[in-house]
Amino acid sequence: MKLFVGFLWGIFVLSRCRAAPAHSDVVMTDQAEEHPEESHYDVTLDRCGGIEFDAIAPDEKGNIFFFKGDHLWKGFSGPPELANGTFQELDEYHHLGHVDAAFRMHNKDEYDPKGHDHMFFFLKEKVFSYYQHALEKGFPVDIRQIFPGIPSFIDAAVECPKGECTTDSILFFKGRDVYSFDIKTKTVKQKVWTHLPNCTSVLRWVEHYYCFHGTNFTRFHPVSGEVSGVYPKDARRYFMSCPNFGHGEAHRKPRCKLDAITTDITGKSYAFTGSLYIRLDKPHDGSHHFPITRSWKEVSGPVDAVFSFGDKMYIIQESQVYIYKSAAHYTLIEGYPKSVREELGVDGPVDAAFVCADEHVAHIIQGQKMIDIDLAATPRAVKSETSLPVGKVDAATCDSEGVKLFVGPEFFLYQSPKVLAVSKISPEAQKIPPGVFGCEHKET
């Protein structure tokens, strides 16, 4: 019988059965090197006191697990727990030592067209595959059976889907050596990233890649290993809630009030509030806000409106428009920003804007009026103008449910732009869902 190794392949002859953050270079002591098992099991389990994690990985629900010795932490706050309480079978192989590396895999291919999430754990020369926290039958097996060409005793591993890497891949780290494993062809390319610290764990989170080393982390590009920005940073300030470690704006839940919202042609959805944004279509990664400059580095500060048309995203800030090419990483189109007047034929500023799928009309909201602009026309000019039944609109979007106008902590739903244009009264207001937008309704 064939062992079904998830979506990865299905060519191994064995039995088959299915069984979100707030946030070092530490050198091991001579005693730790001489007694490696003690260095992992005799730790003080206070991650706020400074811990170099053995592995970090999310599960299929987006819960991020931090592993150290025979313990783990679930999420960014809370006490440590025994790892065998969640991953029972690991205790049966305790003689293998601590978890060397772990990652979540979600990949749809010809071996598993439905696709599902697995967690892979690496302990010395063995690999374990878990589905919904249960060990899949036939595991553990030698790493080379599942990942030929990958050495034993790896330090870290992380999934890198096509679009972020050249192909659907797994990145394995051992010292400064990085092994890029092509999931489909099962070929390996080895490279050396001397500029990156030795990663004891690596986490992919909302399309960003983090190398953890000591109590610090460094964000890097998964293809080149390039590090942009000021790193390393202390993980305790970003990936966990620790007293005496201040958290930046990006690690507090903002009020449920949006500045802008859109979904691009690739299906990626974003909501903007203040100088932050949240990715809405990645529930498996949990809800967390990031600085806008992380994905759109040329845009500083809050935005007024955002809409997507074709393969481009339009970000309006005061009297200027930034147009980005939608891809794995957004790229500002040469020659931008330009003025709102030059690009859209109206003067800024703009309160909100939206474009419905399969349409080429930008609905620009200023005060209590909605201005329709034909994006297929050159030059662009006002097509029509109507009055709105609501007061000042903060953000707007058009999706499968209809047109949503966000006003403060609430939104109003209309069946279509045409219905919105002829409406004389507002429908019943609905509260912005905190769980979706990672926000909270605060008392005024």
Q: What is the CATH number of the domain that holds 123?
A: 2.110.10.10
**Per-residue DSSP letter, 333:** P
Task: Kindly state whether residues 238 and 256 are assigned to the same domain.
Answer: no
Question: Same domain, yes or no, for 60 and 204?
Answer: yes
159 and 212 belong to one structural domain: yes
User: What number is the average pLDDT over the span 405-420?
Assistant: 96
Residue 182 and residue 197: Cα distance in Å, rounded? 24
Q: Check: CB of residue 225 under 8 Å from CB of residue 274.
A: no
pLDDT of residue 135: 87
Which is more confident, 424 or 321? Answer: 321
Q: Which domain holds residue 363?
A: 251-437
Q: Residues 6 or more apart from 13 whose CB is under 8 A from it?
A: 1, 2, 3
Residues 6+ apart with CB under 8 A from 133: 59, 86, 87, 119
Last residue within a domain, chosen from 219, 247, 275: 247
Structural domains in the chain (count)? 2
User: Are residues 225 and 306 located together in one domain of the fold?
Assistant: no
pLDDT, residue 108, reads 57
Residue 72 tokens read as: 């783990």
What is the predicted pLDDT for the residue at 406? Answer: 97
Same domain, 15 and 53: yes
Q: Is residue 187 part of a domain?
A: yes
Domain shared by 68 and 198, yes or no: yes
Look at the chain and count its residues. 444
Q: How many CB atoms lie within 10 A of CB 356?
A: 17
Distance CA 216, CA 50 (A): 9
Q: Which is higher by pLDDT, 431 or 163?
A: 431
Identify which of 77, 76, 79, 128 has the alpha carbon closest to the alpha carbon of residue 99. Answer: 128
Burial class (CB in 10 A: 0-12, 13-18, 19+), 236: buried
Q: Which two tokens stand for residue 375?
A: 């994006």
d(CA 10, CA 109): 11
- Whether residue 302 sits in one domain with residue 221: no
Mean pLDDT score, 171-191: 95
Residue 395: inside a domain:
yes
Judge whether 230 lies within some domain.
yes
Does 442 fall in a domain? no
Rounded CA-CA distance 201/385 in Å is: 55
Residue finishing a domain among 196, 218, 247: 247
pLDDT of residue 202: 97
**In the predicted model, is pLDDT for residue 380 greater than 80?**
yes
Looking at the fold, whether 151 and 258 belong to one and the same domain comes out as no
What DSSP string runs through 66-134? EEETTEEEESSSS--EEGGGTSGGGGGGGGG-S--EEEEEE--BTTBTT--EEEEEEETTEEEEEETTE
- Residue 438 region, left (φ>0) first, then alpha (ψ -120 to 50), else beta? left
Q: Is residue 444 part of a domain?
A: no
Q: List pLDDT tens digits, range 3-43.
A: 333 434 343 333 333 333 433 333 323 333 333 343 444 44
List the single range of 206-210, 315-319, 322-326, 365-369 with lowest mean pLDDT. 206-210
Q: Mean of the per-residue pLDDT values for the chain?
A: 83
Last residue in a domain, options 197, 225, 247: 247
120: pLDDT strictly greater than 60: yes
Buried b (16+ CB within 10 A) or exposed e, 15-39: eeeeebbbbbeeeeeeeeeeeeeeb
Confidence class of residue 83 from pLDDT cuts 50, 70 and 90? confident
pLDDT by residue (tens digit) across 304-331? Answer: 999 999 999 999 999 999 999 987 678 9
Q: Are residues 302 and 239 in the same domain?
A: no
Pair 296, 231 in one domain: no
Q: Which of 408, 416, 414, 415 has its CA nearest to residue 432?
A: 408
Average pLDDT for 119-143: 90
Please answer whether residues 29 and 42 qualify as being in contact, where contact means their C-beta atoms are separated by less than 8 angstroms: no
In a domain, 417, yes or no: yes
Selected residue with higher pLDDT from 186 and 34:
186
Residues 50 and 17 in one domain: yes
**Residue of 70, 71, 73 whose CA lies nearest to 21:** 73
Residue 28 lies inside a defined structural domain of this protein: yes
- The answer to whether residue 138 scores a pLDDT higher than 50 is yes
- 231 with 270, same domain: the answer is no
Q: Which residues contact 92 (CB under 8 A, 6 or more apart)?
A: none
> Considering the domain boundaries, does residue 94 fall inside one?
yes
